[in-house]
Amino acid sequence: MTATRKPLTRADLAPLARAATGPHRTLTAVTRLRGGSRKGVYRLTLDDGTTVVAYVWSAAEDYWDAGPSDPFSQGTGLDLFTAGHDRLTAVGVRVPRLLYTDATHTRLPADAAIVEDLSGGSLEDLLHRDPQTAPAAMERLADLLATLHAVTGPRVGEAAPVEGALRSIEEAAAREPRIAAVREELTARVRELAAEVRPRARHTLIHGELGPDHVLLTPDGHPVLIDIEGLRHADVEQEHVFLRLRFGRHYDALRVPGLDEHRLRLYRLAMHLGLVAGPLRLLDGDFPDPAPMRAIAEHNLQQTLTLLRSAS
């Protein structure tokens, strides 16, 4: 972090920990966990050896410049987190147990939540560390996704993915000459793909940004979803293009029949465009680990150009 974005300390988080866990337990150590760009995620160690996790939503923890509202993008905030937590719990999808929330800003000058600390690691780590155990974990994740995607609701608006993709083209073109050079062709291709999509009356409950790093494991190997603020009703194809990208060769375990090929093509291009524009916009600021973001933007730029070439 830069000098203006210092991680929270034990002294900062002690009042929150005391309110969440009681006055007879003392916070002894704080570790900021990697990966957060919209909220701070901290492991809190207490004097009895137990740990919990704190989520903190504040301007100092959010590296995304507040741009125009995009109904196709991932949201953030305590309200979205608690709404997503309650909905997933109600439909039988495992998430970390919610232990405490605080929107008063009296214990910390930010919205915050305390959740259980899962000790089984992430699915991403398991896929790298123990490929023999991974198939069973992927089968359990497929069952969890079947439960999630069985929940349907009203459509979010057919224009949302198109608006998001067109905005991504404009944002990426302003920062990347290779996108600027094919801006008109990309815009035409998005509109062409959108014209092939027929309306739906109802949509599926999706996570929206589900990679193996957003799946934690219980000690007995069952999956638990995190980063749930983007939970919403949308096309299931949107979930699947992201799953395919993030799970790579493991995606076959999550594949389902009957997906709409027209929607898959539109969402695939929209996703790659968003993963060019988003990281480039993030790099306009002071994100502390820029190299992976540049790599994400470059990979998805190449995928975008490949999809455009294959359509011509």
pLDDT of 182-225, one tens digit each? 999 999 999 999 999 998 888 999 999 999 999 999 999 999 99
Asked, for residue 131, whether it belongs to a domain, the answer is: yes
Asked, for residue 3, whether it belongs to a domain, the answer is: no
Identify whether residues 109 and 133 lie together within a single domain.
no
Q: What is the pTM of this model?
A: 0.91
Identify whether residues 147 and 76 lie together within a single domain.
no
Identify whether residues 213 and 281 lie together within a single domain.
yes
H-assigned helices in 93-176: 123-129, 134-149, 160-173
Identify whether residues 264 and 151 lie together within a single domain.
yes
Query: How buried is 252 (Cβ within 10 angstroms: 0-12 exposed, 13-18 middle, 19+ buried)?
Result: exposed
CATH of the domain at 89: 3.30.200.20
**For residues 101-122, average pLDDT:** 95
Number of neighbouring beta carbons within 10 Å of residue 159: 12
Q: List the domain range (segments joined by +) for residue 245.
A: 123-311
Identify whether residues 256 and 228 lie together within a single domain.
yes
Identify whether residues 30 and 131 lie together within a single domain.
no
Asked, for residue 26, whether it belongs to a domain, the answer is: yes
Confidence label for 60 from pLDDT (cuts 50, 70 and 90) = confident
131-166: pLDDT as tens digits: 888 999 999 999 999 999 999 988 655 567 899 999
250-278: pLDDT as tens digits: 999 999 999 999 999 999 999 999 999 99
CATH of the domain at 287: 3.90.1200.10
Tell me, what's the pLDDT at 289? 83
22-35: pLDDT as tens digits: 999 999 999 999 86
Identify whether residues 73 and 183 lie together within a single domain.
no
Asked, for residue 4, whether it belongs to a domain, the answer is: no
Tell me, what's the pLDDT at 38? 86
Identify whether residues 99 and 134 lie together within a single domain.
no
Higher-confidence position of 21 and 312: 21
- Domain edge (last residue) among 116, 142, 166: 116
Identify whether residues 67 and 105 lie together within a single domain.
yes
Asked, for residue 46, whether it belongs to a domain, the answer is: yes
Identify whether residues 152 and 207 lie together within a single domain.
yes
**For residues 81-100, average pLDDT:** 97
Does the pLDDT of residue 71 top 90, yes or no? no
Identify whether residues 233 and 86 lie together within a single domain.
no
Greatest C-alpha distance within the chain: 67
Asked, for residue 42, whether it belongs to a domain, the answer is: yes
Report whether 172 contacts 269 (CB < 8 A): no
- Domain edge (last residue) among 76, 97, 116: 116
Mean of the per-residue pLDDT values of the chain: 91
Asked, for residue 1, whether it belongs to a domain, the answer is: no
Percentage of the chain surpassing pLDDT 70?
93
Asked, for residue 264, whether it belongs to a domain, the answer is: yes
Nearest to 269 by CA among 224, 231, 300: 300
Tell me, what's the pLDDT at 66? 45
CA 233/CA 225 separation, integer angstroms: 17
The number of domains in the chain is: 2
Identify whether residues 142 and 257 lie together within a single domain.
yes
- Domain edge (last residue) among 82, 116, 150: 116
- CA dist list (Å): 289 to 7, 29, 279, 285, 293: 14, 24, 11, 11, 7
